[in-house]
Amino acid sequence: MQVARIIKTGLVVGVAANVWDFLSNTYVLPLLGRAPASVYLPEELMMERLVITDFIGALVFVWFFDRVRSAYAPGVQGGVAYGLTAGILINVPTWVWVANLFRGFPYVDAVIWTVTGIVWAVLMGAVAGWMWDRTAPKTS
């Protein structure tokens, strides 16, 4: 395990994740969401927690990428493939559970969050694949 490489790549992915969340939560999701406001935290808490959880999620995402990256092509292409796989594995069961276990969370929102979660993972996989290559040890 390459801890420094995971941390560097994870931080870059965390920044990219925060940009994605700002854009998607500000411009896209408000047009699509149907869950009542009572389901969500107040906006100031939501943004604060999104920043923190994006970095935590990015570090876990990159740590697992390190564990399985030999199964994927190098660079952005492999990162995208990893992101698609991870995005499906993470988001499909998560949002099915949320829609079925929590009152007031509509199925349509579960579908929206599943799709945006998979898009997040594909984009962050591309960033991870790109950054992973840039953090490779220098060879003489």
**Dihedral angle of Cα 132, 80, 19, 23, to the nearest 10 degrees:** 180
User: Which positions of the chain have pLDDT values less than 50?
Assistant: none
Residue 58: the pLDDT is 98
- Distance between CA 53 and CA 34 in Å, rounded? 23
Tell if the pTM clears 0.75, that is, is over it.
yes
Instruction: Render pLDDT for 84-117 as a digit per residue (tens, 0 to 9).
Output: 999 999 999 999 999 999 887 888 889 999 999 9
**What is the Cα–Cα distance from 117 to 124, expressed in whole angstroms?**
10
Q: What angle do CA 80, 83, 86 make, to 5 degrees?
A: 155
- Write down the pLDDT at residue 44: 80
Torsion of CA 124, 36, 46, 12, to 10 degrees: 0
Domain coordinates of the chain in residue numbers? 3-134
Nearest residue to 55 (alpha-carbon basis) of 116, 5, 117, 12: 12
State residue 140's pLDDT score.
Answer: 63
Give the pLDDT confidence score for residue 106 in this predicted structure.
86
The pLDDT value recorded for residue 73 is: 96
Q: Please tell me the predicted confidence (pLDDT) of residue 1.
A: 78
Predicted pLDDT at 112: 92
Class of residue 78 by CB neighbours under 10 A (exposed 0-12, middle 13-18, buried 19+):
buried
